[in-house]
Structures are given as C-alpha cells and as structure tokens.
Amino acid sequence: MTSAPAASEAPLAPDKATEHPERSPAASGAPQRGRAVSTETLVRRGIGSAFLILAACLLSFVVWVAFLSQLHYARAQHNAYDALRISLAQGTTPVGPTQLVNPNVENSPTVPVPLGTPLALLSIPKIRLNAVVLQGTTGSVLENGPGHLRDTQMPGQLGTSVIMGRRAAYGGPFAKLSTLNPGDTFTVVTGQTEAQFRVLDLRRGGDPSPPPPAIGQSRLILVTADGTPFAPTGILYVDADLTSKPQPAPPMTLSVANLPASEQAMGTEPQAWLPIVFWGQLMLLITLGLSWGWSAWGKWQAWVIAIPALGYLVFTVSDQVTRLLPNLT
C-alpha cells in the first residue's frame, strides 16, 4: 500500500509569471526597459499621433468658432467698456483718425489711432445690442467687437460713417441687423456727443444706394454679412440718418485707396498664415516628442504630458485660422 502524503507537504505554488499571463508587461503594452523599439514602430506611432492631433485641431476649430469665441468676445467687450468709460471721463477718447501721443503735454505730436482702440458705444434697443465700437475693421479687431471703418468720419460727424460687425462668430453682435425696419432708432455715444440715428432702410449687394446725405448732414451705415451664419452669401447694409446735431469732422488722413484689403467688407488677413506655420512646426515637434515618450514612458503617460500643450496650441491655431475667413462672418 502506498502511504498518504505527509501533512507537512504542501502542493507546489503556481508559477506567478503564468498565473495571470494577461498582467505580464508584454501583454499590458507597457514599455520594457532595456528593450529597443524599432524605427518602424516609432514612425507608426508618430503617424498615428499626427492623425489624432489633426482630428483634435478640426474639432477644436468647430468648438472655438461656435462656442469659445463667444467667451472671447464677452471678455474683450468687458475690457473695452472699462477703457472707454475711463477715456470718456478723462476727455481723451479719440474723435478723429489721429490722437495725441501725450494729452497732458502741450504741443504733443499726433499719431494714427491704433487698431482696436475703443471709440464709441453703440446701442440699438430693437435688437438689444450694446457694444463698444473699436478702431479698425480687420478680422482680428472684429473678434473683439464692431469696428469703425478708418477712411470714414466718426459717428455723428458731418459726412458718412461706417461701422462693421460680425454676423455669427465672436458674439455675432450684428446677427439681428436684418430685423431692423425703417424708422427704428438707436444711439452712438462718442467723445463728442450722444448721436441719435433713425434707420432709413436696409439694402443688399446690387440694391440701389440712397442719395448721399445733404451738405451739413450725417449718415451712419452698419455693415455685416448676409445669408446663412458662417456661410455668407453677400453683404447687408443698414443706412441711418442722424437726427441730432451733427459735430464737426477733422480732416481725414486715410483714403479708401490706402485702406488695406483686410479692412474692407469681407476682407481676410493673409498675414495670419505666418503664426499658423510657426505653431504648426511646434505641433510637429510635440508629435515627435509624443512618439518618443510613448516608447520611453508608456502611451497614457505620454498623452497626459502632451495634452495641456496641445490644448493650448490647437485653440491658438483655431483663433488664427478664423482670421483667414471673411471679417464679417
């Protein structure tokens, strides 16, 4: 007879390396120290990361234009309102194409009013609009609010003034201009006066323009994109005549012939390509670093490090790309 195994004898413990094979380093995808990664693997990971980053850029552009640009506009308008309120109180708000270098110094030289300078407060009760008007009409200026066309007079001055604004992106301050009717009134507060205007009519490209204002009178034209938001089919004009006392107009220093194309209606900013190329190169470097970090630290560890930098870059690029679009969208 064979004797039973002794009680002190314990069964052999299973091999820990084979008990849970799915937890082994090779199966988990974690990088193994001392094991070289082939060039083919690095290239494959780099290409995969590049496609993921490209998809993130496209998605971020949609998110930026549709949602985050509204926050950008709200913050810019808040800052512009504070600056305008202070300049109105101090009497330093520009009322012409130039301003003094130092208002507190006698015979101070003058310089052109910088683009983006707050000039006036536009209030249209019919569409519940209260917006600070800035100097200039480039796409970058109109990101922050409606802009004054620099080769025209200031609102309320003798002659014709033009204010442009976006139809949809960056707050879309002029989104409801098409709902205005002849006879509607609105105001523009400048460094000279509180100008009162009455809408004459609305017109689009191809429609006849109204006769110019009579000598000694003033007119304001509001301009925005017409048609589907983000896919404009033309330009909408709202003509309004001044009903309050017109103010004297200083000599103009810029003519329509000297106005850059980027400040014309539906103009774009080709110079935005330069920062786009620069940021694109930086994103390429991050992609290469992500591919290396994937092999050195692991996939998720590399993405955790790369995501903050990529998040900043993709939204910065999105802001620059919008400047390649028509300035009234």
- Share of residues in the chain with pLDDT > 70 (%): 86
Instruction: Count the residues in the chain.
Output: 329
Strand 159-164 versus strand 185-189 pairing type: unpaired
- Per-residue pLDDT tens for 31-64? 444 445 677 776 776 677 677 777 777 787 888 8
Query: What is the average per-residue pLDDT within 166-179?
Result: 96
At 66, the amino acid letter reads A
Inter-residue contact 180 to 236 (CB < 8 Å): no
The reply to whether the predicted model has a pTM over 0.85 is: no
Distance CA 156, CA 170 (A): 26
- Per-residue pLDDT tens for 204-248? 988 999 999 999 999 999 999 999 988 899 999 999 999 999 999
Q: What is the mean pLDDT of the chain?
A: 85
DSSP string covering 66-125, please?
Answer: IIIHHHHHHHHHHHHHHHHHHHHHHT----SSEEES-TTSTT--EEEPPTT-EEEEEEEG
* 8-state DSSP, 51: H
Beta bridge partners of 135: 148
CATH code 2.40.260.10 for 117-267: yes
Most confident of 53-67, 161-175, 253-267: 161-175
Indicate the angle between helix axes 69-90 and 299-322, nearest 10 degrees: 50
* 8-state DSSP, 23: G
| In the chain, where the domains are located | 117-267
**Residue 135's pLDDT band (cuts 50, 70, 90):** very high
Location of structure tokens 């536009």:
122
pLDDT at position 303 is 74
Q: Token pair of 198, please?
A: 């009455």
